[in-house]
Structure 1
Amino acid sequence: MDKILLNGLMFYGYHGLFPEENKLGQRFTVDLELITDLKPSGRSDNMNDSIDYGQVYQVVQKVVESEARDLVETVAEEVAQTLFEAFKKLDAVKVYIDKPGPPIPGYYKSVGIEIYRERQDYV
């Protein structure tokens, strides 16, 4: 199982249950594991045989920085689905979204969610 790893992608979004989250927004950090066969690109040295990291960033940015969602779970699901639509070579993806300093009682560095999806989950 080959992976492309993208770590610490940072975006500004307006997701959350509380009105102040939707009004003020906050930073979100996204880590991705893209499961794909890297043998063809490793042998050819041709980007057309792989998945372009820059394009991945743009796809995720569009999702995270667009319409506000109540749940980070929804954002993660939309990230996964959009990545499968954009990259036909993608077999599976793990999406981790970190939400630093959530406005909930107590002291937190962050909260986060992680999902794992395979292409067949969206057929």
Structure 2
Amino acid sequence: MDKIILKGCRFYAYHGAFSEEQTLGQIFVVDAELAVDLKAASETDNLEDTVHYGQVFETIKKRVEGSRYVLIEKLAGVVCQDIFEHFPAILAVTIRITKENPPIAGHYDAVGVEIKRERP
């Protein structure tokens, strides 16, 4: 299956299990892989034959910045639901959400989750 990829989308939001995360907020990095048939778009060069990734970005942004969740697992799940609701051509979604600076002791680049969902 063909894919549209959004990589490294950065948003400031207030998700997390710790009160510091819910009060101070932090940057969330979202990657999205959208399985969609791009055959028509590759032949016609028409925007109408693909999924407008700018609109997908805005859908993700609205959910990440406009809601608050304790778990990024929940956030990733609702982002997938929003994408399926707004973009019928998308057959499957992989969402990766990472936090670069969560309030936990240790040395790491980031922590996060990745979920994969297929259209029901």
What is the TM-score with the length of structure 1 in the denominator?
Answer: 0.94
1:69 is displaced (CA, Å) by: 0.4
Preserved CA contact (<8 Å) 1:92 1:118 = yes
Preserved CA contact (<8 Å) 1:102 1:108 = no
1:107 is displaced (CA, Å) by: 2.3
Structure-1 separation of matches of 2:55 and 2:67: 20
Paired AA for residue 25 in structure 1: G
1:102 is displaced (CA, Å) by: 1.1
Query: 1:118 is matched with which residue?
Result: 118
Unaligned runs of 5+ in 1: none
Equivalences, count: 120
Find the residue that maps to 1:59 and give its secondary structure. Answer: helix
Paired AA for residue 52 in structure 1: H
Query: 1:3 is matched with which residue?
Result: 3
Query: 1:50 is matched with which residue?
Result: 50
Structure-1 separation of matches of 2:102 and 2:50: 36
Query: 2:27 is matched with which residue?
Result: 27
Identity of aligned residues (%): 49
Structure-1 separation of matches of 2:85 and 2:15: 23
Structure-2 separation of matches of 1:80 and 1:67: 14
Preserved CA contact (<8 Å) 1:94 1:115 = yes
Q: How does 1:1-123 map to 2 (within 5 A)?
A: 1-120=1-120
Find the residue that maps to 1:108 and give its secondary structure. Answer: coil
Find the residue that maps to 1:7 and give its secondary structure. Answer: strand
Structure-2 separation of matches of 1:99 and 1:25: 11
Structure-1 separation of matches of 2:2 and 2:67: 32
C-alpha RMSD over aligned residues: 0.8
Structure-1 separation of matches of 2:109 and 2:36: 32
